[in-house]
Every structure is written in C-alpha cells, then in structure tokens.
Structure 1
Amino acid sequence: MFEKISIRFSKLNGGHLLWIAVLFSEALTFVIVSSMSLFYNERITREFVITGAITAFIVSLIITAVLVALIKELRVNEKTLSELTSRLHALSIKDELTGLYNFRYFNERIDEEIDRAVRHRHAVSLIMGDIDHFKNYNDTHGHPAGDYVLKRAATCFTNSLRTHDVIARYGGEEFAIILPETGKPAAHELAERLRYMFEIEKFPDEETQPGGMITISLGVAEFPSDAVDKTSLIKMADDNLYIAKKTGKNKVIIT
C-alpha cells in the first residue's frame, strides 16, 4: 500500500502541491472561523479570519515542504532499490572470478535458445572448451596464476564473440558457448578461430607447459542435426571435447 501511495505522490509536480496547499488553507480557515463564530462577536471573528487564514496558509506551506521532502526521499529510495536489485541479479548470473555467465544461467539460456530454434526452425550450436594441462599449470605456479589464466581466457573469448552469443564458465577450466541461429560450419569456424587466438596468446610462464604453450581443446555440436534436446546437445559437444583432449589436444572436434 505504501508503495502505491509513494508512486502516486511521486507523480505530483509543484503546481499540484500548491493547489493542495491552497485547498488545505481554505478548509482549515473555514473550520476555524465557523467554530469561533459561534462564541465570539463579529469584530473578533473578522480579526480571527485574517489571523486564521495566515496561520492556515503557513501550516499548509509547512505540510507542502514536508510532502516535497518525502517525495524526494521516496524517489531516492526507489532508485537505490532498483540499483541494488540490478546488482543482485548480476551477481546471481555471473561467475565471480571471470565475469562470465555462470552454470545456472547457461542452463536457463540453452533451454530458451533451443525452444526458440524449434519455434523459428533454425539451428543453435554449442561449443565446449577446456584449457589443456590446466591442472599442471595450477599446481606448478599456484592458484593465483591459474586464476589469471582463466580471466585472460574469458577476455579472449568475449572479444571474439558476437553480442548475442552466450559464454559461460561451465566449471573449473571448462567453458560453454551458445551460438544462436548458427549452424555447424559457422560454429566450427568460430571454434577454430578461438583455438588459434588462444594458441598465440602469451601467458606468464607458459613455457613450462607441455608443448611450451597454453592451449585449449574444443568440441562442437548443433541442434537439431546432432541432438534432439538440451541434454543430448550438451553430451554431443562434451563427447567431441573429450575426443579432442584424448587425441592430442589443441584441436577442434566436430561430427
């Protein structure tokens, strides 16, 4: 109820408030004068009219000032609440370390994109990527160094994607990329570009890694040609990623 009242008051401008003040002044003066005229003579009543009118108007101005202050406070509180809600929503869908979307949001969006693909009869592709020998790098150089690689990887991916693509940290050093309205050929091309960009990226102490560099393996799958639903799409992309990891790493597998 308070929220509804605050919204209605927030729509009032200065003219409305002055109009309220004048009405309040007239009403208060009428009540006071009517009451006093029952007990005092005409001269006293006339004097009281002047005094009462001035007093009532002053009171109404005070009330108007209070209303203005209240409305300003309500607007500030409403803006603060809106900003806080936005921040909480961002925290609930973003990975704290990388700033990418989290696993929960990924699951929601892939459902939405598959439903949309069914309605509009177009394809949606999924790329699963995993940093090669990441555990070795993490164990050798420590978690802060590993975290730095993950954040650099996130930046590298984000800079290579379209605005409507969705990239999420799937877990650990694994990433998932949803490509709406994208078939396998275009998804394969993007995955190869990501692999190459990752290969030429310079990471600290990467010479200690097998092969002397930090690389990534990727698996690609497409709905509906490779899968009938979300579960089978994720499984196909993940299976292709597994093949890439087992057959030499630093490659893209698509079936």
Structure 2
Amino acid sequence: MKDDRTPGFMEAIAQTGLLTEIWEHFPENMFLMRVEGPDFVVEAANPKMTEVVAQDCIGKRLHDFLPWSVAEATVGHYRDCLRQDKPLRYEEHAAFRDGHGEERAGHWLTLLVPVHDTNGAVSHVFGIAQDVTELRLACADLERYNQDLEAVVEVRTQALNEANRKLQEANTQLELLASRDSLTGVGNRRYFQAGAEREMERARRHGSALSLLMFDLDGFKQINDQDGHAAGDAVLQRVAASVQAELRTNDLFARYGGDEFVLLLPDTPLASARQMGDRLRNRVQAEAGVAISLGAAGYLAADNHLDTLVQRADAEVLSAKRGRKLG
C-alpha cells in the first residue's frame, strides 16, 4: 500500500516544518482519500482523526472501519465532490464504534477539496472535518429551552387573556349595575338622563319628534303601609314588566325614583305619546292591578335641558292626580 500513495505527499509534509506542525497538531480531523474506482481509501490521516476512530485506518476503505450506513453516506459526499470537481462543504451526523469498541457519535462540519494529478484528473480528496457536536448539542438545548419558554408564554398568555376576559365581564357587570335599577331591572335615573340627553341632541340636530311620558302609582303608600314593602316591591316589578312589553327597541324606560317611572319615545309626536300613555294605563291596570297617574311632554326647540321636559310631564302627573285626567 505504501507504494500506492501519492508521490511526495508525506515527504512534502515531512520536509516542511510548518506543514508538519499543522498536520500533527491541528485540532480537527484532516485526511486524504485516494480514489480507487467507485471507492475511496484512506491515504493519510492526522493524529486527531486517528484519535477519533481509535485505530490505524491508513490503507483502509471507510467500509472497513465504519458502519455500512455511515460509510455509504460519507462516500456519497466524496462522489459528489468528484462529480462537481470543486470544494464541497456539508454537515453530517455519524454514530460508530471506534477501534476500542466504544460507542462514538457526533456532528462534523466537513470541507472536501478535490486534488488533481498531473493529467488534471481527480486522484484524491482532501478533507477537514470540524467537530461541531457541542455546538449542535447547545443548539438543541437552546431549541428545547425556546420551546419550553414558548409553552410558558402560551400558558401565561392564555391566563392573561382569561383574566382580561373576566375583568371585561366584571366591568360590563359593573356598568350594568351602575345603569340598572336593582329591583325592577329597568334603567335607573343616571342611565335615563344620559340617554335622554343624547336623544334630545339628535332631535335638535335633525328636527325629529321626541316625547316623554312620566307616571307614578296611585295609592302606592297605602300598599306599603297595609301590605308591607315586599308587596310594594312586587307591584313595582309587575308595573315595570307590563310597560316593557309595550316598548320599542329604541325607547328609553327607567325608574326615576320611588314609584315614579319615566319613558322617552324617540321619533314620536306628543299626540302619539298620549295614545301610548293610554295603552300603558290600561295594561298596567290589567296586569299589575294598580292605577297610574301619567303625564306627557313633547320636545320643544327651547328645551335646552332634560329637566324642562320632565317638569312639564310632572306637572301633568300632578294635574292627573287632582282631576284623574291628563291636562
């Protein structure tokens, strides 16, 4: 085998002190493969490569000391280098038993360079294989860490989204509680005033009709005094339910205080509002078993505040109580 090696290769190394130092002490695998037909034979290997395979591999094919699958994959790269006739860089993973029978596994970043003879044919492949096993293990650890971190972030994001959802629900509930009468479930005074101011502005801007109805329960104090406040509360609930059954989706209905209720009717002239009032009186009497005194007021251009509408409607309520009719 010695006579078949590239003439002068090892001699050139031996004669050049710098190259000898590089070859002997280079920290990565260096090797020279001789082309023998479709196969390759180890022509030279530096001490680092000999240490990795833990045996003298000079004059041997890769299939002689590596597992068949590993040797085939490596030889495939050598053949690619020959076919392309230019340097080839690739990364490979290999697992094998060294000359001592110990399991070896790792990742190598390999550079192959075709070597030509005097006729220009590729006679050898020179290679340097850098051990990047620790780097790949570190990358794998980093990838696992990133995956774990992403999982933690996902869990915490879901928890945060759930907390935000619950907070939004709580805020919605608080807004509802702040705008609703807890006994009857209809709007409260604050809710009505805010909505009525918006409707008045719309009526002012567009010149549309707007009317307000106001009513309270006749003899409500007697109900509380004779039957108790629980009975009075039940009456208020029945009255609210009866009125709600007559409302349109854009009507505003609220308990204004005590046994006093108020209703705002957008796009409704005063005459139509009075007709609505008559229907409410009849329905409340039939379903809640109580009479109501009711007043109405139509929006006027001079009405700058809700109070002016409420005052006119309230005056009619008082008049109805005195005369048992709308004024």
The residue number in structure 2 matching 1:221 is 297
Q: Report deviation, 1:46.
A: 2.4
Q: Is the 8 A contact 1:226 1:233 kept in 2?
A: no
Residue 265 of structure 2 is aligned to residue 175 of structure 1 = no
Q: Report deviation, 1:227.
A: 5.0
User: Structure 1 residues 235 and 226 mapped into 2: Cα distance closer, same or farther (>3 Å)?
Assistant: farther
Q: Report deviation, 1:183.
A: 0.5
The residue number in structure 1 matching 2:277 is 191
CA distance in structure 2 between the aligned counterparts of 1:106 and 1:60, rounded to whole angstroms: 54
The runs of 5 or more residues in structure 1 that have no matched partner are: 1-41, 204-213
Query: Any idea what the Cα deviations from partners look like across 1:33-71, whole Å, max 9, x if unmatched?
Result: xxxxxxxxx999523123212212211111111111122
CA distance in structure 2 between the aligned counterparts of 1:226 and 1:177, rounded to whole angstroms: 20
Residue 222 of structure 2 is aligned to residue 136 of structure 1 = yes
Q: Report deviation, 1:113.
A: 1.2
Query: Any idea what the Cα deviations from partners look like across 1:207-245, whole Å, max 9, x if unmatched?
Result: xxxxxxx21110011011795642221111000010001
Q: Which amino acid aligns with 1:130?
A: D
Q: Report deviation, 1:77.
A: 1.4
CA distance in structure 2 between the aligned counterparts of 1:147 and 1:44, rounded to whole angstroms: 88
The residue number in structure 2 matching 1:110 is 196
The runs of 5 or more residues in structure 2 that have no matched partner are: 1-127
Q: Is the 8 A contact 1:223 1:229 kept in 2?
A: no
Aligned length: 200
Deviates more, 1:88-97 or 1:102-111: 102-111
Q: Is the 8 A contact 1:123 1:180 kept in 2?
A: yes
C-alpha RMSD of matched pairs (Å): 1.9
TM-score (normalised: structure 1): 0.74
Q: Report deviation, 1:84.
A: 0.9
Larger RCO, structures 1/2 (Cα 8 Å, 6+ apart): 1
Moved over 6 A (4+): none
CA distance in structure 1 between the aligned counterparts of 2:155 and 2:245, rounded to whole angstroms: 47
Q: Is the 8 A contact 1:117 1:123 kept in 2?
A: yes
Pick the structure with more helix per residue: 1
Q: Is the 8 A contact 2:296 2:313 kept in 1?
A: yes
User: Which of the pair has more CA radius of gyration?
Assistant: 2
Q: Is the 8 A contact 2:242 2:288 kept in 1?
A: no
The residue number in structure 1 matching 2:308 is 232
CA distance in structure 1 between the aligned counterparts of 2:231 and 2:240, rounded to whole angstroms: 14
Q: Secondary structure at the match of 2:253?
A: strand
Query: Any idea what the Cα deviations from partners look like across 1:132-152, whole Å, max 9, x if unmatched?
Result: 000001110000000000011
Residue 212 of structure 2 is aligned to residue 126 of structure 1 = yes
Pick the structure with more strand per residue: 2
TM-score (normalised: structure 2): 0.58
Q: Is the 8 A contact 2:215 2:294 kept in 1?
A: yes
CA distance in structure 2 between the aligned counterparts of 1:225 and 1:244, rounded to whole angstroms: 26
Q: Secondary structure at the match of 1:179?
A: strand
1:63-78 paired onto structure 2 within 5 Å: 63-78=149-164
